[in-house]
């Protein structure tokens, strides 16, 4: 593993009105790490991922991506080469054919994508088809994206990410809407791609089982704070029980 620091969070704080979503978090993640973000509903996982993606502003603190402040990146291709996002809604354009959604990974701006959607250069086509092969969707290349099942759309989003090739991938509950067998498949596929491309992955998960199976480090959040941040093998059942314990049920 390289020693380059891909992400550094320094005392980041996020409020919504008076509700604290992230409370002065600090941590850093090295290039190539596979980090699972876990914790009860409302703990701040989505808020954290969305702040790193530059989608929501922080009240205080600083985020460094590849040693440069997040704010120094302009939205666009350069940032898209650093950070790629898989959200639950996948951000796919339903009425477009699968192949166009995959090629959108090469562009950073949906306005341009919509304008160019009918343009298919042979080289681009080859790149997209290769990515679709890797996710097992070649037979859907020219189908309308919205006609695919949730799991298939998740794989389209992954093929798009392969074309985008960002250094760091942020995935917010990437397998939440899938049946268990499919979820395991999709997650295994994501991890394989990330390892092959030497990317850094931060994924929020509701399944501790998947976090343990596929990730090398687990950061848990509770009430907007880091509850533990440990190599996977150090995460005990007791810690997990305490993490997910309901408010007021604590024996401490």
Ligand X SMILES: Nc1ncnc2c1ncn2[C@@H]1O[C@H](COP(=O)(O)OP(=O)(O)OP(=O)(O)O)[C@@H](O)[C@H]1O
Residues that bind ligand X (CB under 6 A): 16, 19, 21, 39, 41-47
Q: In degrees, to the nearest 5, what angle opens at C-alpha 72 toward C-alphas 75 and 87? A: 40
The nearer residue to Mg ion, 132 or 171, going by C-beta atoms, is 171
- At its nearest, how many Å lie between ligand X and the CB of residue 5? 24
End-to-end, the C-alpha distance of the chain in Å comes to 39
Go through the chain and tell me how many residues it has: 252
Q: Shortest gap between Cβ of 43 and Mg ion (angstroms)?
A: 8
User: Which CB sits closer to ligand X, 145 or 204?
Assistant: 204
In terms of Cα–Cα distance, which of 157, 182, 151 is closest to 171? Answer: 157
| Cβ neighbours of 223 (radius 10 Å) | 15
Q: Which is nearer to Mg ion, 129 or 176 (CB)?
A: 176
| Cα–Cα nearest to 140, from 127, 164, 156, 122 | 156
Nearer to ligand X by Cβ, of 66 and 242: the residue is 242
Q: Of 215, 187, 167, which Cα lies nearest the Cα of 35?
A: 215
Q: Binds 43, which of Mg ion, ligand X, none (CB < 5 to 8 A, cut-off by type)?
A: ligand X
Q: How many CB atoms are closer than 10 A to CB 162?
A: 20
Ranges within 11-70 binding Mg ion (CB under 5 A): 45-46
Q: State the minimum distance, in angstroms, from the CB of residue 137 to ligand X.
A: 27
With respect to ligand X, which residue has the nearer C-beta, 32 or 44?
Answer: 44
Residue 204 C-beta: closest distance to ligand X, Å: 6
Give the number of other Cβ atoms within 10 Å of residue 167's Cβ.
18
Smallest separation (angstroms) from ligand X to the CB of 223:
8
Which residues bind to Mg ion, rule: CB under 5 A? 45-46
């Amino acid at each position: 593993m390289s020693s380059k620091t891909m992400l550094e969070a320094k005392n980041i704080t996020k409020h919504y009105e008076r509700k604290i979503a992230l409370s002065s978090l600090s941590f850093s993640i090295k290039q190539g790490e596979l980090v699972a973000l876990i914790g009860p509903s409302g703990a701040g996982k989505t808020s954290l991922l969305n702040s790193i993606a530059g989608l929501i502003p922080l009240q205080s603190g600083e985020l460094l991506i590849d040693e440069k402040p997040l704010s120094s990146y302009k939205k666009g291709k350069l940032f898209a080469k650093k950070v790629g996002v898989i959200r639950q809604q996948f951000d796919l354009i339903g009425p477009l054919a699968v192949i166009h959604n995959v090629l959108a990974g090469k562009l950073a701006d949906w306005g341009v994508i919509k304008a160019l959607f009918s343009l298919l250069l042979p080289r681009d086509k080859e790149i997209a088809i290769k990515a679709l092969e890797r996710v097992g969707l070649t037979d859907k290349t020219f189908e309308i994206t919205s006609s695919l099942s949730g799991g298939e759309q998740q794989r389209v989003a992954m093929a798009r990410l392969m074309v985008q090739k960002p250094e760091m991938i942020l995935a917010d509950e990437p397998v939440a809407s899938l049946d268990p067998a499919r979820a395991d498949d999709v997650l295994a596929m994501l991890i394989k791609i990330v390892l092959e491309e030497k990317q850094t992955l931060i994924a929020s998960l509701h399944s501790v089982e998947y976090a343990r199976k596929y990730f090398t480090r687990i950061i848990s959040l509770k009430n907007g704070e880091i509850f533990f941040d440990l190599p996977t093998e150090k995460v005990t059942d007791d810690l997990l029980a305490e993490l997910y314990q309901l408010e007021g049920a604590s024996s401490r």
